[in-house]
Structure 1
């Protein structure tokens, strides 16, 4: 059987079959096409502006390593004019994070980028090893996720950087969409599908340049570029709920390779129906069209959106035609009962969640630490309060070494002391 020829250059021997579209392609064409798609995603969504300082959330894994490599390449090739910095979070997981940070340190030298490492122990007084010892392996990823998000923002603020990019890929976004659907969390779904997220409560925005890149293609890129990355999975992650969503999506991908991008686009379509005041006043850049970034996904179809809106309107019209049935009253009843209000069989439902109504989330600032939150007390402070109850007579001072150039959030948090109950 003759060897396959690259479908792009029509010359070299095909060495890669793209998981995204089953395209047979040679090694060099694959690297070029992958980089071009990331560039088109960046341009289509206006992710950067010239002279901007950008922090790359670097964990040492394949995603963040590929992101750092691609951004360095594109920054030089297309003259973005960016000042790139590696920002790593040390969660305090022995045998995992300490080893991966060594990889990040090597990447900093290889890519000639400055590196900043921020630790949970310095920020919160807890390492993840200590958290797991306290709460167990069930639900520990909740603590890590909440702490990590705040730690990235605080690390960026320390460096005076207002833009953080993360290595979230199409598989990650699809998993998040599936998780929020299973939880029935529509407001969070709207935020998680955005390629750029920001809030009036924080000066720092985030973006996901690899949003439409398949995880398998990221691995192929790292392999063919011979990138130095850490591949061991977190020792605590197998218990995470995300693992169940990941397994489901991988099974779907085996049957239909395009299912990952289909789920991402479905999440985007549903998020478009959520009003900004419901989704937490999180603004996002224009979503990239499938053809614009070369990912092969469907473009947002105006006809399908009109159909969805008509269905919603039809449901509301049908609800207005519901007949209210009143319970009959006996004439011989005492006067006290006669004076009671007539009860509808729908009243029980109206006492709970109103049909078709979504609770609004208004983003503000935590009254304790100043970090953005839809509640009076942010999730991180709530989690810390629970953890610190086991530490009587103990105080943890949360501060920042260098206040100059910090945001309002950081100046507010500098003098806060969280005391154990």
Structure 2
């Protein structure tokens, strides 16, 4: 049987079967097509403007490493005129993050980009090892996710940068859509599907240039480009709910490869359901300067759209008339469809503002990060803990550190 020929160039031998569409393609054409698709995503969504300083959220993993490589390539090829900086968050997970940061440091040299590292211990006074020792592995990803989102903003502000790009891919977005569908969290579902997220309450915005790229194709790109990345999974992540959603989506993908993009598109469609009578009722984020490869999307972000939906729901609720039927004389059991029996879930309108404690973005008076920190600090012993350098370097969690502690009353 003769070898398959590339369906793009019709010349070279096919070396890759694309997971997205089962296209048989040669290595060189795959790399070119992958980069062209990312470029199309950037241009069609007006992600950047010429001269913009952009921080790349770099973890050392395949997604952020491919993102840094592709953005460097496209920035030079298409003359975006971007000033790219690597921004890494050190969560304080020994045996995992310290190793991956070594990869980021090598990437900074390989791509010729400056690197800034911001640590949880500096920002919050806690490392993730200490958090897990305090709260256990159940729910620890909630702490890490909340702290990490704010840490990216803080790191960008430290650098004087207002735009952070992350390596979230199509699989990540589909998983988030599925998670929020399973939890019935409609407002969060809307925000998760937006390629650009920002708010009038914050100067920072984020974007996902890899939003429509399959995880498998990102791995193929990294392999064929021989990129240097860190492949070990976080030691605490197996406990996360996201893992269940990932397994479900992978099973769907085996049956129908387009399932991932179908789920992403469904999430986008739900987020775009904005009633026309409330259009313009919420102030959109000011548009960036149009220059070079474009500005941000004029439609604003999905959070703004979701706020419009919630405003409309509140207005409609005021016009509702409750009709009460006469009481039945029968002794039959209440119907399982009786709304008063099971109650209605009220959707609370979320208006993005600033935390009254730390000043960062929040939909409540006190942001989630400050609330979580308050709970952690309440349970922290009021003692001074002295730790020798040798013990600190050799331990992996706070529980292991305890064996070598010298405690003096505070």
- Could you say if the C-alpha distance between residues 238 and 12 of structure 1 is closer, same or farther in structure 2, counting changes exceeding 3 Å? same
Corresponding residue for residue 407 of structure 2:
none
Equivalent residue for 1:368, pick from 357, 378, 396: 357
| Distance in 2 of aligned mates of 1:361 and 1:204 | 19
Per-residue CA distance 1:190-237 (angstroms, 9 max, x = gap)? 111000000111100000000000000000000000000000000000
SS at 1:84's partner residue? strand
Residue in 1 that maps onto 2:251 = 251
Instruction: Quote the offset at 1:326 in angstroms.
Output: 3.1
**Equivalent residue number for residue 294 of structure 1:** none
SS at structure 1 position matched to 2:203: strand
Matched, 1:86 2:77: no
Separation (CA, whole Å) in 2 of partners of 1:29 and 1:394: 62
Question: Are 1:86 and 1:108, in contact at CA under 8 Å, matched by a contact in 2?
Answer: yes
Query: Alpha-carbon deviation of 1:284?
Result: 11
CA distance 1:268–1:52, change in 2 (3 Å):
same
Equivalent in the alignment of 1:21: 21
Instruction: Please state how far the C-alpha of 1:3 moved relative to its aligned partner.
Output: 0.2
Is it true that 1:59 corresponds to 2:59 in the alignment?
yes
Residue 32 of structure 2: SS of its match in structure 1? helix
Gaps of 5+ in 1: 286-308, 310-315, 330-345, 396-421
Residues 196, 284 of structure 1: 8 Å contact kept? no
| Alpha-carbon separation, structure 2, partners of 1:37 and 1:281 | 32
Q: Is the 8 A contact 1:190 1:274 kept in 2?
A: no
1:365 deviates by: 0.9
The DSSP-based 3-state class of the residue aligned with 2:227 is coil
Q: Secondary structure, in 3 states, of the residue corresponding to 1:202?
A: coil
Task: Name the CA distance, whole Å, in 2 between partners of 1:236 and 1:219.
Answer: 22
Cα drift, residue 325 of structure 1: 1.1
Contact 1:187–1:274 under 8 Å retained in 2: no
- Decide whether aligned partners of structure 1 residues 107 and 328 sit closer, same or farther in structure 2, where only a CA change above 3 A counts: closer
Partner secondary structure for residue 143 of structure 1? helix
Q: CA separation in 2, counterparts of 1:88 and 1:282?
A: 30
What secondary structure sits across from 2:126 in the alignment?
coil
In angstroms, what is the RMSD of aligned CA positions?
2.9
Aligned residue in 1 for 2:126: 126
Q: 1:349 aligns with which of 330, 337, 340?
A: 340
Question: In structure 2, what is the Cα distance between the partners aligned to 1:86 and 1:229?
Answer: 14
Aligned residue for 1:201, secondary structure, equals: coil
Matched residue of 1:144: which SS?
A: helix
Q: Distance in 2 between matches of 1:2 and 1:163?
A: 49
- 2:284 & 2:366 partners in 1: Cα distance? 18
- CA apart distance, 1:112: 0.2
| Equivalent residues of 1:197, 1:284 under 8 A apart | no
Q: 1:360 to 1:74 in 2, by over 3 A?
A: same
Structure 1 residue 212 and structure 2 residue 212: aligned? yes
Q: Is 1:100 paired with 2:89?
A: no
SS of equivalent residue, structure 1 residue 87:
strand
Q: In structure 2, what is the Cα distance between the partners aligned to 1:74 and 1:61? A: 20
Aligned pairs, number: 346
Is the Cα contact below 8 Å between 1:166 and 1:208 reproduced in 2? yes
Deviation of the 1:239 alpha carbon = 0.2
d(CA) in 1 for partners of 2:41 and 2:112? Answer: 25
Which residue is 1:415 aligned to?
none
2: distance between equivalents of 1:282 and 1:245?
32
Q: Given that residues 281 and 363 in structure 1 are in contact (C-alpha distance below 8 angstroms), is that contact kept between their aligned partners in structure 2?
A: no
Alpha-carbon deviation of 1:34? 0.1
Q: What are the within-5 Å matches in structure 2 for residues 243-282 of structure 1? A: 243-273=243-273
Which residue of 1 is the match for residue 388 of structure 2? none
Structure 1 segment 43-54 matched on structure 2, within 5 A: 43-54=43-54
Matched residue, 1:171: 171
C-alpha deviation, 1:324, in angstroms: 2.5
Q: Which residue of 2 aligns with 1:203?
A: 203
How far did residue 272 of structure 1 move?
Answer: 1.0
Per-residue deviation, 1:378 = 0.5
Distance 1:233 1:347, change over 3 A: closer
Retained in 2: the 8 A contact 1:366–1:378?
yes
Q: What residue number does 1:184 align with?
A: 184
